[in-house]
Amino acid sequence: MSAVTASFPNTAAGWQLPSRGKVAMAGLIIAESAIFTIFVVAYLFYLGKSLTGPTPREVLETPIFYTICLLSSSVTIHFAAKCLARGIGFAFLGFWLLTIALGGLFLYGTAEEWHRLIYEHGLTISTNLFGTTYYSLVGLHGFHVTAGLVMLLTVAVFGLCGRVGVKQSGHIEVLSMYWHFVDAVWVVVFTVVYVLGR
């Protein structure tokens, strides 16, 4: 039961720890990767096991163009973040809006593909195992793209009002980590669905 006066030695200089935003985003990415892994496992497990209905080979068309759009958006957001860190606000905004446009194009491509699948081939989420796993996996990814676009748009609004500067570059980097993650997931989904699965 001793009383201690809390007089600690002098603060050590140069004590640097990773930024909490980056650590938190890394944590979120790990968690989301686990969720996507489960959906990918379900997709792979059920390949060839549908009892009826259209098969991947019959109805899927590889979305090369929209994939290029999405993957390019990773490049543009990278440049956007770099420009912001250097204080070139104009270029940052340009790259940022381009990222949004490319992401939006990708979503449009998904919508177009789904429209074709539903109305031309009669493939819905309840048609068969392929339908269930395909729409769930691609839909989950699309949902994450949408959530990302909402965040990018929010930043765009603030950016267009001149509120995003060098001081915010840490936050922008965290957001771009998320966007890179979404693209990386697409690489996996693309490979599993359009390459392996057919």
Q: What residue ranges bind another protein (CB under 8 A)?
A: 1-4, 6-12, 15, 17-21, 23-24, 27-28, 30-32, 34-35, 38-39, 42, 45-46, 49-51, 124-126, 128-129, 132-133, 136, 140
Q: Nearest distance from residue 173's CB to another protein, in Å?
A: 15
Q: Which amino acid makes up residue 136?
A: S
Residue 197's closest CA among 52, 37, 49, 65? 49
161 within 8 A of 184, measured Cβ to Cβ? no
Q: What burial class does residue 34 get, using C-beta atoms within 10 Å of its C-beta: 0-12 exposed, 13-18 middle, 19+ buried?
A: exposed
- Of 8 and 90, the one with the shorter C-beta distance to another protein is 8
- Of 23 and 101, the one with the shorter C-beta distance to another protein is 23
Q: Nearest distance from residue 119's CB to another protein, in Å?
A: 17
Q: Nearest distance from residue 146's CB to another protein, in Å?
A: 16
Q: How far apart are CA 118 and CA 83, in angstroms?
A: 42
Q: Nearest distance from residue 59's CB to another protein, in Å?
A: 17
Q: How many CA atoms lie within 13 A of 138 on its CB side?
A: 24
